[in-house]
């Protein structure tokens, strides 16, 4: 099976593999990956993995610990719609370019989470 990675994913993976420290993915970088992908943002594998991994961590913290206040009350099976969340990030990126992209994922959950 052959994957379409494209240069944005190659550059991101190379940067991560050469770096000794991990930095947060900023909204500007998220949007750059979208723009350079040549496809709809919601179809970019690295962005799906980024959002999906974030949702997994948020769900674990929400369900198993008291570490964070609830950011969603709806069933995660219906709320955790990765393509919808990526479209939300695309729509709300203006003015947030230097912020951690995961903050817009949290904002999606707070807006649509039913609490």
Q: How does pLDDT run along the chain (115 residues), one tens digit per residue?
A: 444 555 565 556 656 555 556 678 999 999 999 999 999 999 999 999 999 999 999 999 888 887 778 888 999 989 999 999 999 999 999 888 999 999 999 999 999 998 8
Q: How many domains does the chain have?
A: 1
Six-digit token string for 93: 């990126």
Residue 15 belongs to a domain: no
Q: What is the domain extent for residue 68?
A: 26-112
Read off the pTM. 0.78
19 falls within a domain:
no
94 within domain boundaries: yes
Dihedral sign, CA of 44, 50, 56, 61? negative
User: Does 45 map to a domain?
Assistant: yes
Q: Are 114 and 76 in contact (CB under 8 A)?
A: no
In a domain, 5, yes or no: no
Judge whether 101 lies within some domain.
yes
The strand pairing partners of 100, in sequence order, are: 26
Q: Does residue 47 sit within a domain? A: yes
């Amino acid at each position: 099976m052959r994957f379409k990675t494209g240069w944005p994913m190659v550059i991101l993976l190379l940067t991560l593999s050469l770096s000794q420290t991990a930095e947060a993915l900023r909204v500007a970088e998220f949007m750059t990956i979208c723009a350079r992908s040549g496809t709809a943002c919601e179809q970019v594998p690295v962005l799906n993995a980024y959002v999906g991994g974030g949702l997994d961590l948020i769900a674990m913290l929400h369900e198993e610990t008291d570490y964070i206040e609830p950011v969603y009350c709806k069933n995660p099976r219906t709320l955790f719609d990765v393509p919808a969340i990526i479209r939300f990030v695309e729509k709300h990126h203006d003015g947030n370019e230097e912020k951690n992209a995961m903050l817009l994922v949290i904002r999606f959950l707070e807006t649509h989470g039913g609490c």
